[in-house]
Amino acid sequence: MAPVPLLSLRDVTKRFGDVVACDGVSLDVSAGEIHALLGENGAGKTTLMNVVYGIYARDGGRITWQGEDARLGSPREAIAAGIGMVHQHFMLVPTLTVAQNVVLGLAPPGHPFPDRRRVEREVGALARHHGLEVDPAAKVGDLSVGEQQRVEILKLLHRDARLLILDEPTAVLTPPEVERLFAVLRRLRGEGRSVILITHRIPEVLALADRITVLRGGRVAAALLAAETNPDDLSRQMIGRPLVRPQRARRQAAPGPGLELEGLRCWDRGVERLAGVSLSVAPGEIVGVAGVDGNGQKELAECVLGLRRASGAVRLAGAALDGLTTAARRRRGLAFVSDDRHHDGLVLGLSLEENYLLGFLSDRRFVRRGVIARRWTSRETAAAIAAFGIAAPGPRAETRLLSGGNQQKLVLARELAGAPRALVALQPSRGLDPGAAEFVGEQLLARREAGCAVLLLSADLEELLWLSDRLVVMYRGRLSAPLENGERGGGIDLTRLGLLMAGQADPGQDPAPCAS
Amino acid sequence: MNAGLLDQLGDLATASVRMATPLALAGLGEAWSERSGLLNIGLEAVMLGGAFAAFLVAAATGSPWLGVGAGAAAGAVVALVHAFLAVTCRADQTVAGLALNFLASGVTSFAFLRLYGRGTDLPSCPVLAAVPVPGLSDIPFLGRVLFHQSALVYLACAALVVSWVVFSRTEWGTRLHAVGENPRGADSVGLSVARLRYLAAAVNGALGGVGGASLTVATLGFFQENITGGRGYIALVVVILGRRHPAGVFLAALMLGAADALQFRVQALGVAIPSQLFIMFPYVATIAVLLFTAGRSRPPAALGLPFDRRER
Amino acid sequence: MRLLRPIVTRLVVALAAFLVWALCVHLAGADLGRAGLGFLRGALGTQYGLSEVLVRTTPLLLAGLGVSVGFQAGFFNIGAEGQIYAGATAATACALALPGLPAPVLLPLGLLAGFAAGAAWALGPGWLKARLGLSEIINTIMLTYVAVNVVGLLVRTALKDPAYPLPVSPATPEGFTLPVLLEGSRLHAGFLVALAAAVGVQLLLRHTAAGFRLRAVGENPRACQVAGIAVGRTVLLAAGASGGLAGLAGAVEIAGVHHKLLEGISPGFGYTAIVVALLGRNRPAGIVLAAVGIAALQVGSSAMQRVAGVPSSIAWIVMGTLVALVLARPALERWRRPAGVEAAS
């Protein structure tokens, strides 16, 4: 290890208006080190790295790179310095090939008339050398998510990045792909390169990192050596307070059928997204669907809602929903909470009142003969704001002004206000701080008490184990057989769960409907 | 009798090529622009500016070639203003284009009136002579149509070849494509989205300006208010018909040029087909093409959208 | 200080537009004072001038409302010009076909026909957008050219007045006339129709569920789809309303001003309406003011041409400059912030 750190941050601060995203953060990364930046959603990890990579300008503090003060005013400068970043949303051009994407922005041999075959050969050799198997001539749009990530990393290595910053790289990978990525990163470390890993997953941090910086609320909560810490310690540093979760009461079995899915199949651009999904959610039950993003969860939610065409049957309280519009399904008592508040849940340019109204356009108390009943809408919105503790300037304020947690509360308030018979929750607490996430979970439990059938699709195992009565695993559009989940999260073999999520266990792969 | 018909067809073909030239030039320029994600509705302003500047300079200096240069420069200025509004100010590209159309129409009319008054004689400017390509222009029929045209026709052909090569074979073309498809991705590898879009706009303006110049300095020899008469919009249509590919744009321009030429011939012959049907033809054709190819070929993903690095 | 900035930049924009105007007057070789006086007197100084401004405001206001309604739903109606022609044609044809009807029936019927024709003309691109996702920008422009040429065709053939050699339609019957409001001027009841439309649009957009759906879809169609709103149908409604108002503008021009169909019935009202909608910031009150303002600009410019010899194309220059400045204004605001450690984008 070199005596002078490769990258050094001192008191780096970044503000967005009144919100302080990074508050006086200091950390050091040496050459040949894997450094984990650990923290919950919203702790400031990505923002901090965006400052290092030149996407944001810092409001205070100093950055030293290879012993010298660095300005890093744009990604171009960062790349030239030898810093590379792989974001959560990939920055690839889907219509170009792998090789073209890797050399984009550089002058390939023969510039300006690139020798395509030579570039592909070189990129292929580079890929093989680092253990990142991918076809250089393939169009990026045709690749899987894991393969696209490899292309992103190749981009950095082609530019001989000395420091690679990876933002939540394992969020989109299956466990074996994670292992492969880790092997690549360890090899890079052996070459003297450094890696900053932004993550919220403690097991990965302990398996891979040399040093760990824990961020909480934009500040450094702890700077530790991986060898000298343990999961409980890290968890406590991340969250800052012991997480007390209300226990899940014993399930009151309600009569009648709830939400039933039978043999759902759907296709998207030639790829089968759902391969015959069958599931029954009884009233007053929460069924959790575990799985890594991209295995069909979003498509499943969309099919149930009627936003996507699928073959197979969807029934609610015994009545078939097939062929009904989304509006009709909602009138029958179906509600939906999504992870993507900004696109799926809310119209940010409208007021809170108007966003609340969005869920009640066919309710005669809100809309009488085509005219909006303003006073009733205001009253109901104010009541919801109070009941859910939404921090807002007022019901007429623009929804854009609310924080992420409060926005999600508004969505919940609207979706749950009609006492739905069935609720589909897709990653409902993603991107929320622990307090807000807890609130969401409590609301789901409350609905469960009231006899609603809740289908919870999530990648957060802790949340699933806390909330679900039964657990299934989704992998490549198929569901495993359900696993019963006792009150304290016992009864579930976590190893088996992990294997199922990686698609490596075969029991229960048949699509037959499961018994309650 | 056959010779007479062949002559007529030859005349028609020659006229088609001549009338297609401004559309081809402007269309090729717009293809550059749209490839990088800029939709320039102000193409009419580019062409009008180019036509007027070319006329002014050619009349003042006596050299039509200087006029062409002035036309290219004026067109580039207009397109760069559009790029400024679209890229730096991140304004709506359609409205910006319309504003420029208003401005160009007003400025050229105003300046023309001030400089030349309202006389009954239209002031004229020197015109580029037809340049026969030695040897090739002697080929019967094709020689006259393809190899005995004004230099701007050959320029358009050269622009076609250059555009095609740049788009499909060079790294510059790939970078423009990246900027138009995924500007965030291009930005993340250090490409300057703004710079590439400005460059594309400059090419758009230069080619479009020459296209406008070809009206005054190669074909008509005079200028009048709103001489472009909507050709800028037709050039946009040409780009859509040609699916933004240089060769497609060229062919579409030829097709519409032929329709234009046909319209004049038919009128001269006294046939009772109203001219309006010919004028409407390109638009109806485009809508038909759009209907039939919907979904099969799509525009650049970021076309018409402003890029802001800080937007997350 | 931060609160003042928007006001300051707006003043800067107005000042810059005025300076451009003054520069053009100077370049035209006219005396600034004389030209200015001619402008103001022509537009606002006499009763006749004022009435002319309001006559011109009428179609700008109606079409501007139409464009604005479209904008708010995410439907960029660039083809209002064509819809005006469509509306004018339908109104004329309807009136000519039913000459015997009494005025209280014929007038509303003709206006309705204009509205319907304009709506139909916009529904084509609207359907292409709702069903196939095709951009309406180019489609509406193209249909404008088709409409203008169809009118050219009709006034030479099916709708041609046999008595005249010129391409005009026969005069519309007495019943299809919007009464004159002011003796000795051209100001007609169409102005009141336009004002009523402004009030109506405001009420519909703010207080009805349909208006709400329109605005919501314009902001975030995906969230509306998830909430159960029929996005496609809403886009079609917006297209129809947008085109309908523009068509109504055309019908009103026939009934109030021209009383026959001819080419050039709209000197670019449809495109100017886009400027009106932009300056009015999509609020009916703002659109009324913007329409009056632009109309005054155009009337004043004509007067200035007569009085001081300044070409009336100055109006287009000022309009274009104004729009460009309005578009650049937010960037101007950002730019004048102190540099600091802020990296250039």
Angle between helices B2-35 and B171-181 (to 10 degrees): 70
Cα distance between residue A97 and residue B302, in whole Å: 19
C314-330 confidence digits (pLDDT tens): 999 999 999 999 998 88
* Residue C4 placed within a domain: no
SS3 content of chain A, % helix, strand, coil (to 5): 35, 25, 40
Class level of CATH domain B7-293 = mainly alpha
Give the residue from C226, C282, C334, C345 with the most A CB atoms within 10 Å of its CB, the best one to mutate.
Answer: C226
CATH number of the structural domain spanning residue C223: 1.10.3470
Contact A347 C222 (CB under 8 A): no
Please, what's the b/e burial string for A24-37 (b: 16 or more CB within 10 A of its CB; e: otherwise)? ebebbbbbbbbbbb
Closest by CA position to C297, among listed C325, C277, C275: C275
Q: Give chain C's radius of gyration (CA, Å).
A: 21
Q: φ and ψ at A515, to 5 degrees?
A: -75, 150
Cis amide bond preceding A112, omega within 30: yes
| Residue B112 · residue B225 · CB < 8 Å | yes
CA geometry: angle A137, A138, A144, nearest 5 deg = 150
Angle between helices B151-169 and B193-213 (to 10 degrees): 160
**Full domain range(s) for residue C154:** 50-339
| Entry field: residues in chain B | 312
Place of tokens 């309005």: C326
Q: What does the block give as tokens for A18?
A: 């009144």
Contact C345 B109 (CB under 8 A): no
Q: Is A358 on the interface with C (CB under 8 A)?
A: yes
Q: Per residue of chain A (516 residues), give pLDDT as tens.
A: 456 888 999 999 988 777 788 888 999 999 999 999 987 666 788 889 989 988 888 888 999 998 888 888 888 888 889 999 998 778 899 999 999 999 988 876 666 788 888 889 999 999 999 888 899 999 998 888 788 999 999 999 999 999 999 988 887 776 678 888 999 999 999 999 999 999 877 778 888 999 999 988 788 888 999 888 887 777 777 766 555 566 777 776 677 889 999 999 998 766 778 888 999 999 999 999 987 767 788 899 999 999 998 899 999 998 999 889 999 999 999 999 998 888 889 999 899 999 999 999 988 999 999 999 999 999 999 999 998 888 888 888 889 888 878 888 999 999 998 889 999 999 898 777 777 888 899 999 999 989 899 999 987 777 888 899 888 988 878 888 788 776 555 566 666 776 676 665 554 443 333 333
What ipTM was predicted for this assembly? 0.87
Searching chain C, which residue's CA lies closest to the CA of residue A371?
C208
User: Quick count: other Cβ atoms within 10 Å of Cβ C213?
Assistant: 22
* Residue C38 placed within a domain: no
CA distances from A312 to A265, A315, A321, B8, C216 (A): 6, 10, 11, 65, 32
Q: What is the pLDDT of residue B85?
A: 94
Searching chain B, which residue's CA lies closest to the CA of residue C150?
B276
Cβ-nearest to C314 among B81, B89, B110? B110
Q: Is A118 on the interface with B (CB under 8 A)?
A: no
SS3 content of chain B, % helix, strand, coil (to 5): 75, 5, 25
Contact A344 C210 (CB under 8 A): no
Cα distance between residue B88 and residue B74, in whole Å: 20
Contact B174 A111 (CB under 8 A): no
* Residue C107 placed within a domain: yes
Å between C314 CA and nearest CA of chain B: 6
In this prediction the pTM is 0.85
* Residue C312 placed within a domain: yes
Specify the number of domains making up chain C: 1
Closest by CA position to C146, among listed C120, C109, C114: C120
Cα distance between residue B241 and residue C78, in whole Å: 20
Q: What does the block give as tokens for C23?
A: 């520069």
Neighbours of chain B (3+ CB pairs under 8 A): A, C
Cα distance between residue A415 and residue A27, in whole Å: 43
Q: Is B284 on the interface with C (CB under 8 A)?
A: yes
* Residue C220 placed within a domain: yes
Could you state, in order of their start, the residue ranges of all structural domains in chain B? 7-293
3-class state of residue A62 by DSSP? strand
Contact A105 B191 (CB under 8 A): yes
- Identify the sign of the CA torsion A477, A168, A96, A143: negative
Q: Is B182 on the interface with A (CB under 8 A)?
A: yes
| Residue A85 · residue A7 · CB < 8 Å | no
